[in-house]
A = this chain, B = another copy of it.
Amino acid sequence: MNEWHRLTAVEAARRLARRELSAEALLRSCLERIAAREPEVRAFAHLDADAALAQARALDAGPLRGLLHGLPLGVKDILDTADQPTACGTPIYAGHRPPADAAPVALARGAGAVIAGKTVTTELANMTAGVTRHPLNPAHSPGGSSSGSAAAVADFMLPLALGTQTAGSIVRPAAYCGVVGFKPSFGRAPRAGVKPNAESMDVVGGFGRTVEDAALLAAVLLGDRRALDEPVPETFRLGLAPGPDRDHAADDVIACWQQAVRVLAPRLARCEDAALPADVADIAALQGALQAHETALSLAHEHRVHRERLSPALLELLDRGAALDAVQVEALRARAARWRSDVDTLFERFDVLLAPSTRDTAPAGLAFTGDPLYCRPWSLLGLPCVHLPFARGANGLPVGLQLVGRKGEDHRVLAAAKRAMAWLG
Q: In the complex, are the beta carbons of A301 and B101 less than 8 A apart?
A: yes
Supposing A326-B226, A330-B408 touch, asked if A193 and B106 sit within 8 A by C-beta, the answer is: no
Supposing A196-B191, A304-B106 touch, asked if A224 and B99 sit within 8 A by C-beta, the answer is: no
Q: Which of A31-39, A173-181, A281-289, A291-299 contacts B (4 or more CB under 8 A)?
A: A291-299
| A226 surroundings in chain B (CB, below 8 A) | 326-327
Q: Which of A239-280 contact B (CB under 8 A)?
A: none
Q: In the complex, are the beta carbons of B223 and A297 less than 8 A apart?
A: yes
A305 at the interface (CB under 8 A from B): yes
| A304 surroundings in chain B (CB, below 8 A) | 106, 109-110
Supposing A107-B300, A300-B190, A301-B106 touch, asked if A99 and B96 sit within 8 A by C-beta, the answer is: yes
| A100 surroundings in chain B (CB, below 8 A) | 301-302, 305
| A102 surroundings in chain B (CB, below 8 A) | 301
Supposing A82-B301, A300-B110, A326-B226 touch, asked if A199 and B190 sit within 8 A by C-beta, the answer is: yes
| A199 surroundings in chain B (CB, below 8 A) | 187, 190-192
Task: With CB as the reference atom, state the residue of chain B lying closest to A107.
Answer: B300
- Mask, A225-240, CB within 8 Å of B = 1, is 1100000000000000
Bound complex: CA A333 to CA B333 (Å):
21
Bound complex: CA A297 to CA B108 (Å):
12
- Mask, A197-227, CB within 8 Å of B = 1, is 0011000000000000000000000111110
Q: In the complex, are the beta carbons of B103 and A297 less than 8 A apart?
A: yes
- Mask, A306-330, CB within 8 Å of B = 1, is 0000000000000000000111001
A423 at the interface (CB under 8 A from B): no
Task: With CB as the reference atom, state the residue of chain B lying closest to A99.
Answer: B96
Q: Indicate which residue in B96, B103, B196, B224 contacts A300 across the interface (CB closer than 8 Å).
A: B103
Bound complex: CA A326 to CA B409 (Å):
11
Supposing A224-B326, A304-B110 touch, asked if A190 and B297 sit within 8 A by C-beta, the answer is: yes
Bound complex: CA A93 to CA B96 (Å):
16
| A326 surroundings in chain B (CB, below 8 A) | 222-226
Question: Nearest-CB distance from A309 to chain B (Å)?
Answer: 12
Q: In the complex, are the beta carbons of A103 and B301 less than 8 A apart?
A: yes
Q: Which of A73-109 contact B (CB under 8 A)?
A: 82, 92-93, 96, 99-103, 105-107, 109
Bound complex: CA A196 to CA B326 (Å):
24
Q: In the complex, are the beta carbons of A200 and B187 less than 8 A apart?
A: yes
| A302 surroundings in chain B (CB, below 8 A) | 100
Q: In the complex, are the beta carbons of B193 and A301 less than 8 A apart?
A: yes
Q: Which of A102-146 contact B (CB under 8 A)?
A: 102-103, 105-107, 109-110
Bound complex: CA A285 to CA B305 (Å):
43
Q: Indicate which residue in B103, B333, B408 contacts A298 across the interface (CB closer than 8 Å).
A: B103
- Mask, A135-174, CB within 8 Å of B = 1, is 0000000000000000000000000000000000000000
Bound complex: CA A330 to CA B224 (Å):
11
Known: A190-B196, A192-B297. 16 other contacts (CB 8 A): A92-B99, A93-B99, A101-B301, A103-B298, A103-B299, A106-B303, A107-B300, A110-B300, A110-B304, A190-B199, A190-B297, A190-B300, A192-B199, A193-B301, A223-B325, A225-B325
Residues of A at the B interface (CB closer than 8 Å) are 82, 92-93, 96, 99-103, 105-107, 109-110, 187, 190-193, 195-196, 199-200, 222-226, 294, 297-305, 325-327, 330, 333, 408
The list of the 10 closest CB pairs from A to B, nearest first, reads A224-B326, A106-B300, A190-B297, A106-B301, A192-B298, A101-B301, A192-B196, A100-B301, A103-B300, A110-B304
10 A-B pairs in the complex with CB atoms less than 8 angstroms apart: A82-B301, A102-B301, A103-B299, A106-B303, A107-B300, A190-B196, A191-B199, A192-B196, A222-B326, A224-B325
